[in-house]
Amino acid sequence: MAKNEKNSAPMRLDRYLCESLQITRSQAKELLAKGRVILNGAVCKKADARVCAGDEVVAGGKAVSRQEFVYIMLDKPQGVVSASEDGHDTTVVDLVRPAHPRRNLFPAGRLDKDSTGFVLLTDDGNFAHDILAPKRHVAKTYTVRIDTPLTQAMIDGFAAGVTLADGSLMQPAVLQGVPGDPTLTRVVLTQGVYHQIKRMFGTFGAGVVSLRRTAIGGLALDESLGAGGWREISADELALIRSKEEN
């Protein structure tokens, strides 16, 4: 088993093969029946043999290891919804599913359908819960174009904590201008309320023209991915996400 599985529970050999090789249960059974799977040095044909931490599995002559969880950085395009499944629209998970057909991936945090940028996809519920927990205050950084020039009143209001139209008080947020472009802004939030940025600007009579998430915690979106592009996140990058620091 791979290093990151040291603490994981034993798993059926056929399931282990499916998850690590991304093959179907019947393909795994075929490999086993043909005697092409070696467990700890001996051919094993039993689908229900248990694979434990430290066991060595070889299939078709190659060592097999299973990554316990997957963490993906996706550059969400406009028009794609932040969900695992949707009866109508393409979801963020649809974009990566061909490469991970057997993983129960979901977005850890949402972006509106018309927003773009960094969405983190994972099948690690504990990690997602941890970085989304309000107490953790993991910062999310956005580039936001508004339909009116940025004012000092907006900057001060965001810093003090905006009260939305429904009366709810938002945590203080960073709002900065971009030199030379009066309607382009950078926003840093430490909470995730539905349509939060649009509603916060709305209290100042400003509309949001475009909204792009550029960082989660201390991890910046890899802009070379392009719209709809994605890649797995390294362990070092994961640690950056957990850090509260804004990018």
Distance CA 186, CA 126 (A): 29
Select which of 86, 112, 130, 222 is catalytic: 112
- Structure letter (DSSP) for residue 18: H
Which residues in 48-87 contact ligand URA (CB under 6 A)? none
In order of 4, 61, 64, 72, 127, the CA distances from 67 in angstroms are 7, 19, 10, 13, 15
What is the closest distance, in whole angstroms, from the C-beta atom of residue 193 to ligand URA in the complex? 8
Scanning 19-27, 54-62, 145-153, 195-203 for contacts with ligand URA by CB under 6 A, the matching segment is: 195-203
Binding-site size, ligand URA (CB under 6 A):
8
Among 91, 141, 196, 247, binds ligand URA (CB under 6 A): 196
Q: Which of 29, 198, 231, 242 binds ligand URA (CB under 6 A)?
A: 198
Asked whether the beta carbons of 4 and 68 are under 8 A apart, the reply is yes
CA distance 222 to 139: 17
Counting Cα atoms < 13 Å in the Cβ hemisphere of 203 gives 21
51, 65 contact by CB (below 8 A): no
- Please check whether residue 196 is in contact with residue 117, taking contact to mean a CB–CB distance below 8 angstroms: no
Q: Does 195 bind ligand URA (CB under 6 A)?
A: yes
Stretch that binds ligand URA, among 9-17, 177-185, 191-199, 216-224 (CB under 6 A): 191-199
236 is catalytic: no
Q: Which of 111, 146, 221, 238 binds ligand URA (CB under 6 A)?
A: 111
Q: In this chain, which stretch among 73-81, 94-102, 162-170, 190-198 interacts with ligand URA, using CB under 6 A?
A: 190-198
17 sits near ligand URA (criterion: CB under 6 A): no
Burial 106-123 (b: 16+ CB within 10 A, else e): bbbbbbbeebbbbbbbbb
With CB under 6 A as the contact rule, the residue among 121, 211, 215, 219 that binds ligand URA is 211
Q: How many CB atoms lie within 10 A of CB 38?
A: 17
Interacting span for ligand URA (CB under 6 A) from 22-30, 91-99, 100-108, 196-204:
196-204
Residues that bind ligand URA in the complex, under the rule CB under 6 A: 111-112, 115, 195-198, 211
Catalytic residues: 112
